[in-house]
Amino acid sequence: MSGADLWSLAPLIVPALAGTLVMLLGGFNANRRLHHGLAVGALAAALLCVGMAYGTAPRTVTPLLIIDSYALFFLTLIYAATGLLAMFARPYLAVREKDTDAFYALLLFAATGMGVLACSNHFAALFLGLEILTVSLYTLIGYLREDSRSLEAAAKYLVLAALSSSFLLFGIALVYAATGTLLLNPAFRAIADLAPQFGQQAEAAWALAGGIFLFVGFAFKLALVPFHMWSPDVYQGAPAPVTALIATGSKGAVLAVLLRAVGPVGLGEIGGAAGITVLAVLTMFGGNLLALLQDDLKRLLAYSSVAHLGYVMVALLAGGVAGAQAMTFYVLAYVLTTLGAFGVVTILSSESPCEADSLAAYRGIGWRRPWLAATLAVMILSLAGIPPTAGFLAKVAVLGAAIEAGRLGLAIAMALASGVAIYFYLRVIVVMYMQEEEDATEASSLPSSFANAVALLVLVALVIAIGLHPTPWFEAVRVAVATILPA
Amino acid sequence: MSPQILTALIAVPLTGGGLAVILGRRSDDAARWVSLLAALLTVALAATLWFGFQETLPAAQGPVLEQRISWIPRYGIEFHLALDGLNLLFVILTACLGTVAVLISWREVTRAVGAHYLCIMATVAGIMGVFLAYDLFLFYFFWELMLVPMYFLIGVWGHERRIAAAIKFMIFTMVSGLLLLVAILTLYYAHGAATGNYTMDYTRLLGTQIGLSTARWIFLGFVAAFAVKLPLFPLHTWLPDAHTEAPTAGSILLAGLLLKTGGYGLIRFAVPLFPDAAASLATPLAVLGVIGIIYGAILAYSQRDLKRMVAYSSVSHMGFVMLAVAVWQITALQGAVMQMLAHGVATGAMFAIAGMIQERLHTRDFSELGGLWSKVPKLSAFALLFVLASVGLPGFGNFVGEFLILLGSFPVTPMLVAGGVLGIVLGTIAMLALMQRTFYGPSRNAAVIADLSPREVLALGILAVAAVVLGLLPQPFLRAAEPSLAGIISQSIPFNPADPEVGLDVLRTAAENTADFSLQPPSDPTGAEIAPASRVPVAESAVGLTGTNPGVTTESSPGSAHAIPASARAGNEETGS
Amino acid sequence: MELLFFYIFAAVILGSAVMMVTRRNMVHAVVWMVITFIGVASLYILLEAEFLAAVQILVYTGGIVVLFLFVIMLVNLGDIYQVEWLHRQWLPALLLALLLVTEIGFMVWVGAQDVPAAPEQSEAILRGLGGNVETLGMALYTDFLLPFEVASMLLLVAMIGAIYLAKKRV
């Protein structure tokens, strides 16, 4: 490894070092502002390093990691998301927990893990990145030690994430046995070559079994139906900023590596298209139908992100350059939107130690807290895919990719599933705006922290800007995808 | 005239709404005045267009004013607005009803006034966009965009069961809208794959060659969205709830404008883009339209709620539009446009009156109404006027519309026209019953109530004048729409007349065979003056796009049949064989 | 000869694993687990992976089992003995287990035909590289230096988490 390699790795090294620093500082200094500032600053610095790494991209650092503009695109998204939720976390933790050094340290390590995932070119890096992320999440989910729901969620996540990791490992082992390589793309290409020989050659059976185990492992992490059981409980129990991390960064990172591994080969080639189509349809309808029954905003958003991952699977199934672009664009829109929604939940939860997650807590906030409510409303409209928001264009891109690939049935299924979803998204808006008389006496309309107000404003502006003028964003996505899937 | 005026038609109401929210934080009156100002400015812009294009409109088959800016080049999407005779009429209607909606909610709304006006003005802007868009994606963008403020309007400022009504409205329209989106994208990719030119531009997508069975599915996707809005018979169930629970301004915008977007979409997009599919499905659509006419009238009679009754009468009236679209013949389409304009005015006014009664008596239930004539003579006189307009008394626009639709449809499908006439009779009974139950008979309410204020007289007066003008002087409106409709018809001749599935269709063939007969009534002196030359380029471009055989070129002239009826007849005989 | 030993070790592993999960006394269960681990280590020796065998004994039988025993002795286990032996889910569990067995059996059946049976070859490669442990060490500190570091971070993360969750609230 050379010095230049280290420079390319700077986007991964910075958060890791900062995490260690925060941990060490925590031993001497209980200044919460300092930990917070370090974490946010480190992520900003990491973003700067991402910008610099564009100069040397693409660069393969050891066989394991590749720093190309695809990886850098996702690194930007992941670090920005993590940085924003670190900002949201400060007032939230202030009313709940005195020790915050471990929180920020683990957040930075989780960011590193996600970064490794986004850059990984090799099963070893994939597994290590995933484990760093998951192990950090175990503690982050259970961070509110006094809250039994938080601990329950952590325990559930621990068991299921460990299970899914073992699936993943077993899958990796089988794939290695069959193909003799641990590099992502060659391995999947080899699976694609072996798949048609199923029944004639032992390796084909292993490769196929390995592929299935791998996909089950991914499906657990992404919470696709029927592997979604953990997600509502964990979303509800985890502290709101951590829920945001699970919903945005961790999903984004896993999707990044999934697309890098599968995209250039195509799901259809690997021979799993039929099964994954069923899974995608189940996920879209399952997530949306179950969300209809929820009275808790965090659970509702959990099921809604289950459904959104189903839409992402539609893009993955569509395949090709258009599918990969649609998928990446969808992830971008989904991450920004979900972050905004959980940002509002976090800010409302940081006014008292009790979590603002039941829908009843949002009754009438449209008139009491117009700015926060308007933010949440924009995010909900974006999740529902209504113009002029990013979510709308993302949905158009995915539907378009599916139709272009000739998968009209899948596109219609997606349209109908999003039709079901309208109902529960509207319920949130109904609760906020339509269920209580205006109460103008409470005039504290802005969030308590100025930085958070700015952060939310930026997210709203981005979501609407992407909805109105998507061309630069499409271009960024095109450039990113071109490095893994040359047109 | 500068094409930016088209953008201004959308931007002015939107800006007005935004200012209303900002100023509304200080004072409610400021919000009201700024919205009124924006609405009046929109009317002024629309009037400028109307008078500015008086000369050019009758001669132009295509758009007279166009604005296009590249928007999302990756998908070939443009910000493309265009004005022709057809949508100009709807633009004027939108501007006028927007003003009325602002005036009517002046005193009714006291809660979150600024936000209320933002919702009204945003709805108006969205509807403007729907009428003006010439890019399918842009059209869909506005189509969805106008729903959101309307949803808030119903859900926040509506009556007792507003939330259920708002959600029902949104789900019906959004689900059908998503089908429309899938249909648009399918068309987009089919066109792109066939020509290599990936574009959402309406004029370029016209004439896309798609297999009949595929085209039928895509067409149904379009129809799903438009039929929900129209509303067509089995898809109408959202309408009574939404209209009844909406605040007065919301009801006016819904009945007066939102329903019209459905009819407009059918005429502008659904049929011209898929003429074959439309022809093959014309019969069921026409039957559903007539069922709607009769069913709506019967249900209107049996309602106990004033607003519900008017809402069901809308279902009945809009059934005529479906009939006209299914017949697809210029007289009937002229009638459909008139019907939509007149219905927008008359029903908008009926909802305004219902709102005024509700404001005064806090009820819309017939069991608590009655004998209002003696208490509020001015209001009652207006009500009588609009009831008579609604039932289609000669002298009002509704009469012109219904008459033309029936006239145009009769040669094609006399049975269905008979059904439509039956519907008119039933509708008349319903509306007269409304008058009887509300304004005549003994008074069942002791409350002392005030008659119309000058502001209310102004709002209703605008509509009354409009209703009478449409009835007594329909010629300018018919003349404005005629060339555009003729152009649309000439572009929507089935491409494959030899296809037995299309050729055998009874409705369709009959319509073409009788084209020159039924064209007589609306053709006026100016019609004869329309130089055939002005139409030739369109016919040629249609040929260029579709590569149709020369037989169809002559056949595409039924749109201008009275100029060359002989050749048209020759073409039709070819079709019939 | 090798096959005979394989079957003996396999029987030991399976037998002790069954014993382990059926014991009511936790300490007994852990002792059976030790035997399972030793059996696995013996299999590694059969596969000529001496280093892995040594690590298996050092880490699992040495470290982890001792930790388990600590935990069992530190935590009051009174309640555990009340737990039902068979849960209500035994039927679905049995079905799924049967399914898994069939699947693995099928895989083995399909795969048994042409499993590469050429240990001499890999032996030769290993010897050329300078033996088992050396090869591993070279790979770990050259090509795989980065993941080695990253793995250490993984342990750090786990440690931070454990300490945070366990420590008293100050």
pLDDT tens column, B357-416: 888 888 888 888 877 888 888 888 999 999 999 988 888 989 999 999 999 988 888 889
| pLDDT confidence of residue B494 | 59
* Mean pLDDT to the nearest integer, A452-467: 93
Structure-model confidence comparison of residues B44 and A451, the more confident one: B44
| pLDDT confidence of residue B534 | 37
Q: Is residue B189 part of a domain?
A: yes
**DSSP states of A439-456 as a string?**
-TT----S-S-HHHHHHH
Q: Residue length, chain B?
A: 577
Q: Does the beta carbon of A71 lie under 8 angstroms from any beta carbon of chain B?
A: no
Give the distance from residue C131's alpha carbon to the nearest chain A alpha carbon, in angstroms.
21
Give the distance from residue B238's alpha carbon to the nearest chain A alpha carbon, in angstroms.
14
Structurally, chain B folds into a number of domains equal to: 1
Neighboring chain A residues of B156 at a CB cutoff of 8 Å: 433-434
Cα R_g (chain B), whole angstroms: 23
| pLDDT confidence of residue C125 | 61
pLDDT at A193 over 90: no
How far apart are the C-alpha atoms of B32 and B28, rounded to whole Å? 6
Give the distance from residue C19's alpha carbon to the nearest chain A alpha carbon, in angstroms.
23
A336 confidence band (pLDDT: 50, 70, 90)? very high
| pLDDT confidence of residue A226 | 86
* Mean pLDDT to the nearest integer, B47-56: 87
* Chains sharing 3 or more CB pairs under 8 A with chain A: B, C
- Tell me whether residues C114 and A201 touch, CB distance under 8 A: yes
Neighboring chain C residues of A62 at a CB cutoff of 8 Å: 143-146
Distances (CA, A) of B190 to A258, B208, B336: 30, 8, 31
Residues 6+ apart with CB under 8 A from B331: B404, B407, B408, B518, B519, B521, B522
How far apart are the C-alpha atoms of B334 and B497, rounded to whole Å? 25
CA angle at residue C149 from C143 to C150, to 5 degrees? 105
Neighboring chain A residues of B146 at a CB cutoff of 8 Å: none
| pLDDT confidence of residue C80 | 56
Q: Is residue B297 part of a domain?
A: yes
pLDDT at B441 over 60: yes
Structure tokens at A211: 């592929």
* Mean pLDDT to the nearest integer, A216-229: 90
**Number of A–B residue contacts, CB under 8 Å:** 89
In the Cβ-directed half-sphere of A95, how many Cα atoms lie within 13 Å?
16
- Tell me whether residues B175 and A422 touch, CB distance under 8 A: yes
Provide the domain limits for residue B376. Answer: 4-480
| pLDDT confidence of residue B547 | 36
pTM: 0.86
A14-28, A109-123, B428-442, C43-57, range with greatest mean pLDDT = A109-123
pLDDT at B54 over 90: no
Q: What chain C residue is nearest to A100 in terms of C-alpha separation?
A: C164
Low-confidence residues in chain C, pLDDT < 50: none
Give the distance from residue B169's alpha carbon to the nearest chain A alpha carbon, in angstroms.
11
The proportion of chain A whose per-residue pLDDT surpasses 90, expressed as a percent, equals 57
- Tell me whether residues C164 and A102 touch, CB distance under 8 A: yes
How far apart are the C-alpha atoms of A422 and C44, rounded to whole Å? 57
* Chains sharing 3 or more CB pairs under 8 A with chain B: A
Q: Does the beta carbon of A374 lie under 8 angstroms from any beta carbon of chain B?
A: no
* Mean pLDDT to the nearest integer, A39-64: 89
- Tell me whether residues A205 and C158 touch, CB distance under 8 A: no
| pLDDT confidence of residue C121 | 57
Q: Does the beta carbon of B155 lie under 8 angstroms from any beta carbon of chain A?
A: yes
Neighboring chain C residues of A111 at a CB cutoff of 8 Å: none
Residue with tokens 């609760």: A431
- Tell me whether residues A415 and B75 touch, CB distance under 8 A: no
Q: Is residue B409 part of a domain?
A: yes
Say which DSSP state C89 is in. Answer: T
| pLDDT confidence of residue B289 | 92
Residues 6+ apart with CB under 8 A from A382: A333, A337, A340, A389, A390, A391, A392, A463, A467
Residues 6+ apart with CB under 8 A from B282: B326, B327, B328, B505, B507, B508
Q: Is residue B541 part of a domain?
A: no
Q: Does the beta carbon of C166 lie under 8 angstroms from any beta carbon of chain A?
A: no
Q: Does the beta carbon of A422 lie under 8 angstroms from any beta carbon of chain B?
A: yes
pLDDT tens column, B6-47: 999 999 999 999 999 888 888 888 889 999 999 999 999 999
Q: In the predicted model, what is the mean pLDDT of chain B?
A: 82
pLDDT tens column, B117-148: 999 999 999 999 999 999 999 999 999 999 99
Structure tokens at A362: 């949002």
Residue with tokens 């621990």: A158
Which of C99, C141, C150, C165 is the mutation pick for testing A, counting most A CBs within 10 A?
A: C150
Give the distance from residue C151's alpha carbon to the nearest chain A alpha carbon, in angstroms.
6
Q: Other CB atoms closer than 10 Å to residue A367's CB: what's the count? A: 20
Annotated domain spans of chain A: 272-487
How far apart are the C-alpha atoms of A91 and A105, rounded to whole Å? 17
| pLDDT confidence of residue B572 | 41
Structure-model confidence comparison of residues A369 and B299, the more confident one: B299
| Interface present between C and B (3 or more CB pairs within 8 Å) | no
Neighboring chain A residues of C170 at a CB cutoff of 8 Å: 98-99
Q: Does the beta carbon of C104 lie under 8 angstroms from any beta carbon of chain A?
A: no
Which of A12, A35, A64 is the mutation pick for testing C, counting most C CBs within 10 A?
A: A64
Which of C156, C160, C163 is the mutation pick for testing A, counting most A CBs within 10 A?
A: C160
Give the distance from residue A69's alpha carbon to the nearest chain C alpha carbon, in angstroms.
21
Q: Does the beta carbon of C164 lie under 8 angstroms from any beta carbon of chain A?
A: yes
Give the distance from residue C167's alpha carbon to the nearest chain A alpha carbon, in angstroms.
10
B196 confidence band (pLDDT: 50, 70, 90)? confident
How far apart are the C-alpha atoms of A118 and A129, rounded to whole Å? 9
Exposed e or buried b for every residue in C65-74, given b needs 16+ CB within 10 A? beebeeeeee
- Tell me whether residues A105 and C160 touch, CB distance under 8 A: yes
Q: Which amino acid is at A134?
A: T
CB B320 within 8 A of CB B230: no
Of A125, A139, A205, the CB nearest to C107: A205
- Tell me whether residues A124 and C144 touch, CB distance under 8 A: yes
Residues 6+ apart with CB under 8 A from B208: B187, B190, B191, B194, B195, B273
pLDDT tens column, B543-568: 333 333 333 333 333 333 333 333 33
Q: What chain B residue is nearest to A403 in terms of C-alpha separation?
A: B186
Report ipTM (2 d.p.).
Answer: 0.91
Residues 6+ apart with CB under 8 A from A86: A36, A39, A40, A43, A104, A107, A241
| pLDDT confidence of residue B129 | 94
pLDDT tens column, A253-307: 999 999 999 888 877 777 677 888 999 999 999 999 999 988 899 999 999 999 9
pLDDT tens column, B491-550: 776 544 444 443 334 444 444 444 444 434 444 444 333 333 333 333 333 333 333 333
Neighboring chain C residues of A20 at a CB cutoff of 8 Å: 156
Q: Does the beta carbon of A25 lie under 8 angstroms from any beta carbon of chain C?
A: no
Region of C116 (left: φ > 0; alpha: ψ -120 to 50; beta: rest) is beta
Of A412, A430, A471, the CB nearest to B182: A412
Q: Is residue B530 part of a domain?
A: no
Q: Does the beta carbon of C139 lie under 8 angstroms from any beta carbon of chain A?
A: no
Structure-model confidence comparison of residues C137 and B241, the more confident one: B241
Q: Does the beta carbon of B196 lie under 8 angstroms from any beta carbon of chain A?
A: no
Distances (CA, A) of A314 to A322, A415, B197, B275: 12, 11, 25, 32
- Tell me whether residues A404 and B112 touch, CB distance under 8 A: no
Q: Which residue, B343, B344, B348, B339, is CA-closest to B307?
A: B348
* Chains sharing 3 or more CB pairs under 8 A with chain C: A
Neighboring chain A residues of C156 at a CB cutoff of 8 Å: 20, 23, 109
